[in-house]
Structure 1
């Protein structure tokens, strides 16, 4: 390849690298990520659980967790399904425990007699 600014066969050859702002001026275009679209892999159970908990605390619905995670990571879908299954079980057990506690308030007389 000829170097920048040299004449090759009577033709001036120049190369210029465009920045993202020069390349796209339309305001409606999606901004380009700084890392050129490279995603990290989310394949470890502990990091998967942490990311799912982060999304749940941010208010993301359970059925939207997979699409949201896939925007940021390459995900192991089998692991994600297993994590979501366990979290659903824990959430339903927690709701049942809370409902049971609300239905059966502790009897203060029983504690005093003991």
Structure 2
């Protein structure tokens, strides 16, 4: 069997795939936000809702939130508290605490007592 040449994936191709996946996730989060935060979405409008979701995704990426579940939970917090709250010193300190998992940080953002122990089974948000 003849050997095949190595597959070359260019940066532009990776960027296009990343954008497509992000756009799909944002669409999924738009549906989620409209279902769980209808009044906030109505007040923000479609463009504002999408901006809040994208801002929450960007904020999460800065702090190691990489799973869809944790990013979704951070989007929830962005709607519950507002994006401004996620940029307050108390929230940025919680988000930046790399010594704890994103799940624990999400609990701390919400003020959940289970976050104090840091136990994974209690932090399953």
Shorter-chain TM-score: what band? Answer: under 0.3
Rg larger for: 1
Structure with more of its chain in helix, by fraction: 2
TM-score norm. by structure 2 comes to 0.24
Bigger RCO (CA 8 Å, 6+ sep): 1
Structure with more of its chain in strand, by fraction: 1
